[in-house]
């Protein structure tokens, strides 16, 4: 623990570390094996990623089979089966019109690539001066600099990086909740921003239906449909960031399907590899690809060293096929009803302001932030790994979690919410 504290950075952490992390020595199915001998249910799917659970035999085999061929080769000038098959599979299962795939090495990079595509597209089609992005408040798109610039300006790191981040345009948090209708009034400010500044805007970027790390909110499909219509009206591209929502998490394979909407550019990550290694993807339409390629450079100016990594591609392909071969709708539907019944009474807890569930995502929102150290202890004592942030106690379990696992998770969430 001393060596960890003095040497290794953890996410959003001080150096040296101020809080002891929990040592893990293994994981299997929906469980993490802690160094102290406890086996706890993972309520977080390692941040949305491990949808099939840990050490899945099919995914393990995909990695070891690929190791027999090669772990990695550069992607400049070379190609290989796993990358091509993965790209084809993603085109096949994602919303209509997305035809081309850029394999990036993390979610934030896929957002950078999406934004770069939009900027190059603007240049390629002669819409110079479109260098800004329009988004909604309450969003999260990653931690690299351009991705940060479209994160929520209050929750995000805008103040710290004022003067460094490009200044983007922000519409209010989508108001209508998932099951509410969306009115003209709800998109009035978005429309006003587009009316005033469309000729400066390369794209609208947002998380469809589920705003993740920016506040865990679920908004109305009707809102997303109106955003799509406004983008068409003002000839602005729409970037959908489905890094958290992709691959069934919200109850549809992709959250855009709730609204029957296709974006011009789509970002995928997190569950793409089934949580095995880091990989992400940026998909775009043929129209976007044509515009990007028509720009001066004649090419998309991005190419990470580990682009299209064969191990990551092979395990992603196996994870996608495994998901489609399972009755994932029933699994996610079962988790949804388990979360709903387990969190049923949470809204009456002192200090709880909202409880919401969509697909395999459950959220308790409090009026005050939780104490992380207390929360960790309380949830581990309930046999569950949770990682609340701020005022939000939430879970997105692996799809392989059983009804008992979900009951443990909701009991732990309630206990954490009560622990204040």
Residue 135 in the binding site for ligand PLP (CB under 6 A): no
Residue 207 in the binding site for ligand PLP (CB under 6 A): yes
Residue 105 in the binding site for ligand PLP (CB under 6 A): no
Residue 323 backbone phi and psi in degrees, to 5:
-60, -50
Which two tokens mark 142? 């990653």
Taking CB atoms, the residue at the shortest distance from ligand PLP is 107
Residue 410 backbone phi and psi in degrees, to 5:
-70, -35
* 172: helix, strand or coil: coil
Interface with ligand PLP (CB under 6 A), residue from 42, 112, 241, 405: 241
Q: Which of 140, 219, 223, 276 is catalytic?
A: 140
Q: Work out how close the CB of 348 gets to ligand PLP at its nearest, in angstroms, rounded to a whole number.
A: 30
Interface with ligand PLP (CB under 6 A), residue from 40, 41, 111, 315: 111
From the list 36-44, 87-95, 104-112, 122-130, the region that binds ligand PLP by CB under 6 A is 104-112
Largest distance between two CA atoms of the chain: 62
Interface with ligand PLP (CB under 6 A), residue from 53, 107, 124, 138: 107
Interface with ligand PLP (CB under 6 A), residue from 140, 170, 178, 385: 140
Tokens 């890094």 appear where?
243
Interface with ligand PLP: number of residues (CB under 6 A): 15
Q: Work out how close the CB of 397 gets to ligand PLP at its nearest, in angstroms, rounded to a whole number.
A: 16
Rounded distance between C-alpha atoms, residue 207 and residue 131, angstroms: 20
Query: Is 116 known to be catalytic?
Result: no
Site string for ligand PLP, 349-378 (x = CB under 6 A): ------------------------------
* 51: helix, strand or coil: coil
Which of 352, 396 has the CB closer to ligand PLP?
396
Interface with ligand PLP (CB under 6 A), residue from 213, 224, 265, 315: 213
Residue 250 in the binding site for ligand PLP (CB under 6 A): no
Query: Is 197 known to be catalytic?
Result: no
Query: Is 54 known to be catalytic?
Result: no
From the list 237-245, 292-300, 366-374, 400-408, the region that binds ligand PLP by CB under 6 A is 237-245
Residue 319 in the binding site for ligand PLP (CB under 6 A): no
From the list 80-88, 96-104, 207-215, 355-363, the region that binds ligand PLP by CB under 6 A is 207-215
Which two tokens mark 3? 């060596």
Nearest CA among 213, 352, 391, 274 for reference residue 27: 274
How many C-beta atoms surround the C-beta of residue 232 within 10 A? Answer: 11
- Residue by residue, DSSP assigns 77-144 as S---HHHHHHHHHHHHHSSTTEEEEEEESSHHHHHHHHHHHHHHHHHHTT-TT--EEEEETT----SS
Q: Work out how close the CB of 111 gets to ligand PLP at its nearest, in angstroms, rounded to a whole number.
A: 6
| Rounded alpha-carbon distances, angstroms, from residue 257 to 15, 221, 240, 397 | 42, 9, 12, 21
Query: Is 241 known to be catalytic?
Result: yes
The contacts of residue 343 (CB under 8 Å, 6+ apart) are 355, 357, 362, 364, 410, 413, 414
Which two tokens mark 228? 């799509």
Interface with ligand PLP (CB under 6 A), residue from 108, 285, 309, 319: 108
From the list 76-84, 241-249, 321-329, 399-407, the region that binds ligand PLP by CB under 6 A is 241-249
Rounded distance between C-alpha atoms, residue 248 and residue 69, angstroms: 31
Q: Work out how close the CB of 244 gets to ligand PLP at its nearest, in angstroms, rounded to a whole number.
A: 3
Q: Are strands 169-171 and 132-136 parallel, antiparallel or unpaired?
A: parallel
Residue 146 in the binding site for ligand PLP (CB under 6 A): no
Helix 188-197 and helix 221-233: axis angle, to 10°? 20
Which of 108, 410 has the CB closer to ligand PLP?
108
Contacting residues toward ligand PLP, per CB under 6 A: 106-108, 111, 140-142, 207, 212-213, 241, 243-244, 269-270
Q: Annotated catalytic sites, by residue?
A: 12, 140, 241, 270
């Amino acid at each position: 623990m001393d060596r960890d504290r003095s040497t290794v950075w953890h996410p959003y952490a001080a150096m040296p570390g101020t809080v002891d992390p929990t040592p893990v020595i293994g994981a299997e199915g929906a469980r993490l094996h802690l160094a102290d001998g406890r086996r706890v249910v993972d309520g977080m799917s390692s941040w949305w990623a491990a949808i099939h659970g840990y050490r899945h035999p099919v995914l393990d085999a995909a990695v070891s089979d690929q190791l027999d061929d090669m772990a990695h080769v550069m992607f400049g000038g070379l190609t290989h089966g796993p990358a091509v098959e993965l790209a084809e599979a993603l085109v096949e299962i994602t919303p209509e019109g997305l035809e081309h795939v850029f394999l990036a090495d993390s979610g934030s990079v896929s957002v950078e690539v999406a934004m770069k595509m939009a900027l190059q597209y603007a240049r390629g089609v002669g819409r110079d001066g479109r260098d800004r992005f329009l988004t909604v408040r309450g969003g999260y798109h990653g931690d690299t600099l351009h991705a940060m610039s479209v994160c929520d300006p209050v929750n995000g790191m805008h103040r710290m990086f004022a003067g460094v981040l490009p200044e983007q345009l922000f519409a209010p948090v989508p108001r209508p909740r998932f099951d509410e209708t969306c009115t003209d009034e709800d998109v009035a400010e978005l429309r006003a921003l587009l009316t005033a500044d469309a000729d400066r805007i390369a794209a609208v970027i947002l998380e469809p239906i589920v705003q993740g790390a920016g506040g865990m909110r679920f908004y109305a499909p009707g809102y997303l449909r109106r955003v799509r219509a406004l983008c068409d009206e003002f000839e602005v591209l729409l970037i959908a960031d489905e890094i958290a929502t992709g691959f069934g998490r919200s109850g549809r394979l992709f959250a855009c399907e709730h609204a029957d909407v296709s974006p011009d550019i789509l970002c995928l990550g997190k569950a793409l590899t089934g949580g095995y290694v880091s990989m992400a993807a940026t998909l775009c339409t043929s129209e976007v690809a044509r515009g990007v390629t028509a720009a001066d450079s004649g090419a998309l100016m991005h190419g990470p060293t580990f682009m299209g990594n064969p191990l990551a591609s092979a395990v992603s392909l196996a994870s996608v096929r495994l998901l489609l071969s399972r009755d994932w709708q029933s699994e996610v539907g079962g988790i949804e009803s388990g979360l709903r019944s387990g969190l049923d009474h949470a809204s009456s807890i002192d200090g709880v302001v909202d409880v919401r569930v969509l697909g395999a995502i459950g959220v308790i929102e409090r009026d005050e932030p939780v104490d992380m150290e207390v929360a960790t202890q309380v949830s581990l004592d309930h046999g569950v790994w949770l990682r609340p942030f701020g005022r939000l106690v939430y879970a997105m379990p692996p799809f392989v979690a059983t009804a008992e696992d979900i009951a443990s998770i909701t009991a732990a969430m309630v206990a954490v919410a009560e622990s204040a």
